[in-house]
Amino acid sequence: MAHIVTIGEILVEFMAKEIGQKFYESGDFVGPFPSGAPAIFIDQAAQCGSTTRILSAVGDDGFGRINLERLQRNGVDISKIKVLKDATTGVAFVTYKDDGDRDFIFHITNAACGRIDEELVGEEDFKGCKYFHIMGSAIYNDGVYRAILKGIKLAQRNNCKITFDPNVRKEIVTNEEKRSILMDILNQAQIILAGENEIFYLTGVEDELTSVKALLEKNAEMVVIKRGSRGATLYTKDEVINIDAYKVKEIDPTGAGDCFAGTFVSCINQGIKPLEALGLAAIAGAKAVTRKGPMEGNTTLEELRLLDNENQNK
């Protein structure tokens, strides 16, 4: 039994060493780093003290092993990660542009995580589960999408809330059909954690408050907008709370949003009030960008609370 369950890609990431490096020119990359948005999320949720499980698949290779060992070490239930003999673990390469934007090349559709389908998802995954977390990046093929839909049905039948991070990647959300899939999930979620431009991209409504209000009138109880180094905003039916970012020197932005979401959902699961959860999530997101590697800056709740206390005593 796990209180927080997620599904989707587990992969290793190789990161360009230099800003401005191009995929079409030879250059140095560092890695492999354990990665995949759902994996980063669930690792952080576990480090913050919740019981967690991820449904996924890796190959029977070193790239699978680095992920399995990391997730298990940090307390994630890895019993529903299939280890496939006839597929290799997913891989992503990332380059950084001068303006802070990133490009990805994903090898996931034809990798082990591309084999996830509805058979992986069972009623037992949702018995006692309180939050089913979905990442928009996980709709990379039909099998995973069907698995997510089955998960949503089972979650709803078991009174488990849907938490959703659209995590829109232009390399994955390639057409209108995929946008509308994400829109459907957005409309069903109780907790939404979105990047600043993602709600606009999905709803087509330019004014943030208008689109968030529409979500709060449907199924959403909380909508959090993540704004990178400018902090975050929490919207509920009753209030709007803006918080500043926790000041750090950014080394690598990859994984901040997943780490933020993992902290927020894990805190809410443990009964921590939304405002405190938001503050701790912002510290976790900030901490994540101080380390190269998507999961390398993940942190325990104890450490986040220490940093929070230090910050308040400044």
Options 133, 258, 299, 304; binder of ligand ATP; rule CB under 6 A:
258
- To ligand ATP, the closest distance from the beta carbon of 61 in angstroms equals 26
Contact positions with ligand ATP (CB under 6 A) in 181-210: 195
- Exposure on the CB side of residue 265, measured as CA atoms within 13 A: 36
Options 2, 71, 138, 282; binder of ligand ATP; rule CB under 6 A:
282
Burial (CB count <10 Å: 0-12, 13-18, 19+), residue 231: middle
224, β-bridge pairs? 193, 234
Q: Is 49 in the site for ligand ATP (CB under 6 A)?
A: no
54, β-bridge pairs? 6
Q: Is 253 in the site for ligand ATP (CB under 6 A)?
A: yes
- To ligand ATP, the closest distance from the beta carbon of 85 in angstroms equals 32
The nearer residue to ligand ATP, 227 or 305, going by C-beta atoms, is 227
User: H or E stretch including 165?
Assistant: strand 161-165
- To ligand ATP, the closest distance from the beta carbon of 298 in angstroms equals 12
Options 41, 140, 235, 260; binder of ligand ATP; rule CB under 6 A:
260
Options 8, 36, 255, 274; binder of ligand ATP; rule CB under 6 A:
255
Q: Which two tokens stand for residue 37?
A: 């948005």
Task: Check if the beta carbon of residue 139 is closer than 8 Å to that of residue 177.
Answer: no
Q: Is 307 in the site for ligand ATP (CB under 6 A)?
A: no
Contact positions with ligand ATP (CB under 6 A) in 209-248: 226-229, 231-232, 245-246, 248
Q: How far is CA 237 from the centre of its chain?
A: 24
Among 7-15, 107-115, 152-160, 278-286, the segment contacting ligand ATP (CB under 6 A): 278-286
- To ligand ATP, the closest distance from the beta carbon of 224 in angstroms equals 8
User: What DSSP letter does each residue of 80-114 carry, written as one string?
Assistant: TEEEETTS--EEEEEEE-TTS-EEEEEE-TTSGGG
Q: Which two tokens stand for residue 109?
A: 């559709």
Task: Give the integer Cα–Cα distance in Å for 115 and 164.
Answer: 22
- To ligand ATP, the closest distance from the beta carbon of 258 in angstroms equals 5
**CA-based nearest residue to 293, from 80, 15, 10:** 15
Q: Is 250 in the site for ligand ATP (CB under 6 A)?
A: yes
Task: Give the integer Cα–Cα distance in Å for 174 and 75.
Answer: 35
Options 5, 87, 112, 286; binder of ligand ATP; rule CB under 6 A:
286
Burial (CB count <10 Å: 0-12, 13-18, 19+), residue 192: buried
Q: Is 285 in the site for ligand ATP (CB under 6 A)?
A: yes
Tell me which amino acid residue 83 is. V
Among 65-73, 209-217, 251-259, 264-272, the segment contacting ligand ATP (CB under 6 A): 251-259
User: H or E stretch including 172?
Assistant: none
- To ligand ATP, the closest distance from the beta carbon of 283 in angstroms equals 8
- To ligand ATP, the closest distance from the beta carbon of 119 in angstroms equals 29
Among 124-132, 201-209, 284-292, 305-313, the segment contacting ligand ATP (CB under 6 A): 284-292
Order across the sheet with 29-35: list the strands. 29-35, 11-16, 90-96, 102-107
Residues in touch with ligand ATP (CB under 6 A): 167, 195, 226-229, 231-232, 245-246, 248, 250, 253-258, 260, 282, 285-286, 289
